[in-house]
Chains A and B, each alone.
Chain A
Amino acid sequence: MKTLYIGIGNQFRRDDGAALALASRLRALNDPGLTVIEATDDVIRLVDLWGAYDNVVVADAVVTGEAAGTLHRRSPLECPLARHWFGASSHQLGVVEAIELGRAMNRLPARMTFVGIEARDFGEGQGLTPEVERALDIATEVIKAEVHACPVQ
C-alpha cells in the first residue's frame, strides 16, 4: 500500500510552513513506500489525489488554542475536521472543503490521517518558532509509523 503525504502551507509565513518543512524531512527519508507533495496553491485540486492512493496523510498548520508545537492527529474518515482550526480564506476552498467534497463523491482513500501542527507565528518571513520546529521530530515519527502500518505490497 503506497502512502501519500501532502504538506499544506505557505513557507513565507513562518509557522504556516510547518507542514512544508515536514515534507522536506519526509522526502529526505527516501522511503519507497512514501510519496511526498507540497500543496501551496489551490488545495481543492487535492480532491483528484484522494482516490489515487490507499493511504493519505495530510498535514497543515492549525490554531486551536493549544500550545505551539502541539500535534493533533485526526481521522477525517471518522469525523470531519473542524473548520475553525484553519485560517479563514475568502478566496479559496480549503482542505476541509477538499476532504468533504471527496467524501461526498466517494473519493476518499481507504485510510486517511490528518496531522495538525499547532502554530503561533503567521508573520512574514521564513523559519519556524522553536516549539514548532521541535514538534516536527515527533510528527516525522508519527508519519513514518503510518507508512509502516501500511507496508508496500
Chain B
Amino acid sequence: MKARTVTVPVLARIEGEAGLRVRLAGGRVTNAELRVFEPPRFFEAFLRGRRFDETPDIVARICGICPVAHQLTAILALERACGVQVDPGIRQLRRLIYLGEWIESHALHIYLLHAPDFVNAPDAIAIAGSHRELVERALRLKQIGNEIVTVVGGREIHPINLKVGGFYRLPDLTRLSALAEPLRWAVDAALDTVRWTTTLPFPDFEQQYELVSLRPHDEYPLMEGRIISNAGLDIQASEYEEIFEEEHVKHSNALRSARQHQPYMVGPIARLALNFDRLSSRARTAAEEAGLPAGCTNPFRSIIVRAIELLQACEDALALLSQYEPPHAASIAVAPRAARAGAVSEAPRGLLYHRYTLDSRGLLLDAKIVPPTAQNQKMMERDLANFVALHQELPDDQLTWRCEQAMRNYDPCISCATHFLKLQVQRT
C-alpha cells in the first residue's frame, strides 16, 4: 500500500499555533504528531526573582481565555506555601469568578470554535448566517461569563482584583445581585445547549482512557479535592510531581505530560466521568438524557460534556450568588516564608498545576506550571493515530478534516502549553 501523509500546517479554531502530521505506511500509522510551533514563552523563567505577590498578575498573561485559572491556582499554591487560609466569603467569590471563566470559555468553544465541525461550516461566521439563534445564544452566554469576571475581577480579560490573600476590593453587592437574572436565563440556555449538542452527528470512535481530575468532597470539581483517576490513582496535589512527568519532544515547543510514560486525559470528559455524582440534579438528568450516564469515551462527544458543564457552572454560579456572605475584609495579610508548595485546580480545559518555591523574603526561587493542554498532548496524538488507523478508507480531505476535529475535541490552548522553561538548541 502506498505511503500516505495527512498534514494540517496550521490548525484553525484553537487557541494558539499548532499543526499536525500523521504518516501512514503499509496500512499502519507510523507517526502521529501534534506539532506545536508557537514559540516558548519562558514564564517559569522570568517568574524567578519576582515577589510572590506579583505572581497572580504575571501568570494571568499566560492565557487570555483562562487567566483566572492561572491566577487562582498560583494564589492557592502561594497561600499554601505561606500557611494561610482565607475566609469562606473569599472562597465563594473565587469560585464565582472561576465559574464565570468556565461559562465564557465553554460558550466560546462549544458554539464558536467546535460547533462548525458538526454542521459543515468553516467557522462561526458561517454558522451565524445559517443558525443565527445559536450564535445569539453563544454571545449572550459568553457575555454573562464576562460580566461575572468583570464584577468580581475588575475587567473581563486578565482581571486585576485577585491577590494572594483574597481580593483588592470586594465586589459591589448591587452589581453582584444583578448577575442573578441573566444567570437564570443562562441556566435555561445551557440546558438548550445540551439538548442541541445531542442532535449533532458524531463519528464512531470509542476509546479507553486513563481519566484524571480533581474529586472534591461534595461539589463539582473546581479548586479543591484529591487528584484521582479511573485507574486507581488517588493523591494529594502535593504528590503531583511524584506521579506525573513532563517530556520534551522535537516536534513540540510544549512539554508533554505522561504518567509512567503513558498518556492520560484531563478536562471535561475526565471531570464528568469521575464526578458524575457531584453534578446538580438538573445537570445529571441532562447528562442521562444525553446518553452519558456512564461517562463518555468518544472524544467527539466532548461538546456534549462541555455543554453539561456549562449548565453546571451556571447553576453553581447562581447558587453562589444566593449563598454569598461578604467576608469581613477583602483580604487577609499574608507574610511570606521560605517554603515550597503546589496546588491544582480545574481550568476549563482540565487539571492545572502550579508549584512555587519562595525564600524567606518572599522572592520566587522557582516555578513550575503544567497546563491541561500539555497534559493532554500525548493523548491527542494517540487519538490521532487511532482515528487514522480506523478511518484510513476516508479520502484525504475528509480524513484531514476529521483529524483537525480530533484535536479540537480537546479545546487545546497552545498558548498555555508553551509557557515552559527549557528550550534545547542543538547545533552541529
Contacts and interface: CB of A to CB of B under 8 A. Distances in A.
B287 interface: no
B155 A101 contact: no
Contact of A47 (B16, B129, B139): B139
A39 B393 CA distance: 48
A97 B38 CA distance: 22
A42 B102 CA distance: 15
Nearest to B112: A93
Contact of A101 (B63, B125, B156, B414): B125
B109 to A, nearest CB: 12
Given A48-B143, A105-B135, A42 B128 contact: no
A91 interface: yes
B135 A91 contact: no
B124 A92 contact: no
A47 B143 CA distance: 11
A58 B95 CA distance: 36
A90 B146 contact: no
B126 A91 contact: no
B122 to A, nearest CB: 12
A41 interface: yes
Interface residues of B, number: 25
Contacts of B155: 41
Interface string A99-116: 011001110000000000
B124 A91 contact: no
A100 B125 CA distance: 6
B19 to A, nearest CB: 13
Interface string B184-228: 000000000000000000000000000000000000000000000
A106 B146 CA distance: 24
Given A90-B15, A101-B135, A44 B142 contact: yes
A41 B124 contact: no
Nearest to A97: B125
Contacts of B139: 44-45, 47-48, 101
A91 B125 contact: no
A106 B125 CA distance: 12
Interface residues of A, number: 17
A45 B146 contact: yes
B365 interface: no
The listed residue with most A CB atoms (<10 A of its CB), out of B65, B139, B146, B156, is B139
Contacts of B135: 101, 104-105
B415 interface: yes
B64 interface: yes
Nearest to B139: A47
Interface in A63-106: 89-93, 97, 100-101, 104-106
Contact of A90 (B38, B126, B129, B132): B38
A91 B373 CA distance: 14
A41 B157 contact: yes
Contact of A97 (B17, B65, B124): B124
Interface string B173-184: 000000000000
Interface in A38-59: 41-42, 44-45, 47-48
Given A42-B156, A90-B415, A104 B128 contact: yes
Contacts of A101: 124-125, 128, 135, 139
Given A47-B139, A90-B414, A97-B124, A41 B156 contact: yes
A53 B285 CA distance: 42
A97 B113 CA distance: 12
Contacts of B136: 105
A104 B132 contact: yes
A92 to B, nearest CB: 6
A101 B108 CA distance: 14
Contacts of B112: 93
Interface string B157-184: 1000000000000000000000000000
Given A42-B157, A48-B143, A104 B15 contact: no
Most buried by A among B125, B143, B155, B415: B125
A104 B139 CA distance: 14
Nearest to A80: B125
A43 to B, nearest CB: 10
A119 B347 CA distance: 36
A25 B63 CA distance: 32
Nearest to B133: A105
Interface string B124-157: 1110110010011001001100100000000111
A104 B133 CA distance: 11
Given A91-B64, A93-B112, A104-B132, 20 more contacts: A42-B142, A44-B139, A44-B142, A45-B146, A47-B139, A48-B139, A48-B143, A90-B414, A90-B415, A91-B15, A91-B63, A93-B124, A97-B125, A100-B125, A101-B124, A101-B135, A104-B125, A104-B126, A104-B129, A105-B136
The 6 closest A-B pairs by CB, nearest first: A104-B128, A91-B64, A104-B129, A90-B16, A100-B125, A41-B157
15 contacts: A41-B146, A42-B146, A42-B156, A44-B142, A47-B139, A90-B15, A90-B16, A91-B15, A91-B415, A93-B124, A97-B125, A100-B125, A101-B124, A101-B128, A105-B129
Interface of B: 15-17, 38, 63-65, 112, 124-126, 128-129, 132, 135-136, 139, 142-143, 146, 155-157, 414-415
